[in-house]
Amino acid sequence: MMRLTHRLACLLLILAPGRAVAAESPNVVASIRPIHAIAAAVMEGRGEPALLIEGAASPHAYQMRPADAARLEAADLVFWVGPALELFLTDALDALAAGKGLALMDAEGMRLLPNRVAGPFAAEDHDHDHDHSHDPLEMDSHVWLAPANGRAMARAMAGRLAALDPEGASLYAANAERLARRLDALEAEIAARLAPLRDRRFVVFHDATQYFEDAFGLEAAASLTLNPARQPGAKRVAEIRRLIAETGTACIFSEPQFPPRLLDVIAEGSEVKRGMLDVVGVELTPGPEHYPQLLLAMADAMQACLSE
């Protein structure tokens, strides 16, 4: 009787849907929240990716932990933007997950923009060259803020997942197309909301919004820094204060990962409004809904701060 009970218990474990899915789906790690969100949407119904960088940590200056190394070593597949963003992953992938990384900046159909020079943006900074032959480290890495890139990344993920898990191929493809259709509708909604604000200039803490601007016809006047790990000096701060006074800049945006004290100094004595842009969604719940919510939150913040 005991032997029969044991066999029955084992059979139930084998047949349990949740356990079967976990055993069959690839072990996927995604570097940052937006990439994790797209992967979660593509894998929905088949498995769940793990998120490498949690909390408010910035990928620009992230320090690997032993737990991160263990996750990479156990992974079947690692989704990341590329060395232009998560430089810390370059050597780590070679050592712990060789051949398992998919750098999404290299995905087919991606629209890449060159980095702009920090400080006031000159006219040539907005005359974008979309040639992919540039050094990848010279390209703006905040690619997820363009819905078109979100669609391209979802399809690239679905293709790579299908190669690892042929039984889930049709589900991955269907999920990627479902996300693409949702992003089509969302892109049209955001474009309509932001169209009246296209002549309103703003300043960002670090130059992370170029893809969102390019997608929706907006234009930042300046950024305080290209790399948020490097604080701007007194000369840059004075330069931005002068620009705000001379051009009637409507808004200056901070980010939740970085202290707003510097922006208080810049805005002092002016009527410029202050807003918050959460470009990776650190205050949003991770999961398949995170990416559409992130784009909507960006639109909400822009509309609130740029509207008269």
For residue 3, being part of any structural domain is answered with: no
Is 164 found in the same domain as 241?
Answer: no
- What is the average per-residue pLDDT within 279-306? 96
Are both 161 and 222 inside the same structural domain?
no
Q: Are residues 183 and 84 in the same domain?
A: yes
Q: Where residue 244 falls among pLDDT bands split at 50, 70, 90?
A: confident
Domain span holding position 103:
16-55+62-112+138-190
Statement to judge: residues 107 and 82 lie in one domain: yes
Residue 229 has pLDDT above 70, yes or no: no
Q: How far apart are CA 157 and CA 47, in angstroms?
A: 13
What CA–CA distances, in Å, run from 245 to 224, 232, 268, 297? 15, 19, 11, 28
Asked whether residue 181 is assigned to any structural domain, the reply reads: yes
Distances in Å between the alpha carbon of 202 and those of 83, 153, 206?
A: 28, 29, 12
Q: 71 vs 229, which has greater pLDDT?
A: 71
Contacts of residue 129, Cβ cutoff 8 Å, sequence gap at least 6: 114
The answer to whether residue 12 scores a pLDDT higher than 70 is: no
130 within some domain: no
Confidence band, pLDDT 50/70/90 cuts, at residue 223: confident
Ramachandran bin of 120, using left for φ above 0, alpha for ψ from -120 to 50, beta for the remaining angles: beta
Q: What tokens appear for 115 in the block?
A: 């980095």
- Residues 183, 293: one domain? no
Do 39 and 177 sit in the same domain of this protein? Answer: yes
Tokens 């969302």 correspond to what residue? 186
Each residue of 56-68: pLDDT tens digit? 788 887 889 999 9
Of 160 and 131, the structure prediction assigns the larger pLDDT to 160
Would 95 be classed as within a structural domain? yes
Asked, for residue 184, whether it belongs to a domain, the answer is yes
Distance of CA 65 to the CA centre of its chain: 21
Q: What's the total number of domains in the chain?
A: 2
Q: Are residues 254 and 150 in the same domain?
A: no
Cα–Cα distance measured from residue 69 to residue 121, given in angstroms and rounded to the nearest whole number:
39
Question: Which of 190, 205, 228 delimits the end of a domain?
Answer: 190
Q: Residue 36, SS3? A: helix
Mean pLDDT value across residues 210-235: 83
- pLDDT on residue 2: 40
Exposure of 298 by Cβ count < 10 A (0-12 exposed, 13-18 middle, 19+ buried)? Answer: buried
User: Is residue 33 included in any domain, yes or no?
Assistant: yes
Query: Which of 111, 106, 85 is closest to 227 using CA atoms?
Result: 85
First to last CA, the chain: 77
Same domain flag for 30 and 178: yes
Q: Are residues 172 and 82 in the same domain?
A: yes
Same structural domain, 31 and 148: yes
The pLDDT tens digits for 140-153 are 999 999 999 999 99
**Of 59, 31, 64, residue with least CA distance to 228:** 59
Residue-level pLDDT at 294: 98
**The whole model's pTM is what?**
0.86
Same domain, 200 and 300: yes
Which one, of 307, 308, 299, 281, lies nearest residue 191 by Cα? 299
Over range 117-126, report the average pLDDT.
59
Cα(226)–Cα(167) distance, integer angstroms: 43
Give the Cα separation of 198 and 182 in Å (integer).
Answer: 24
More confident residue, 210 or 123: 210
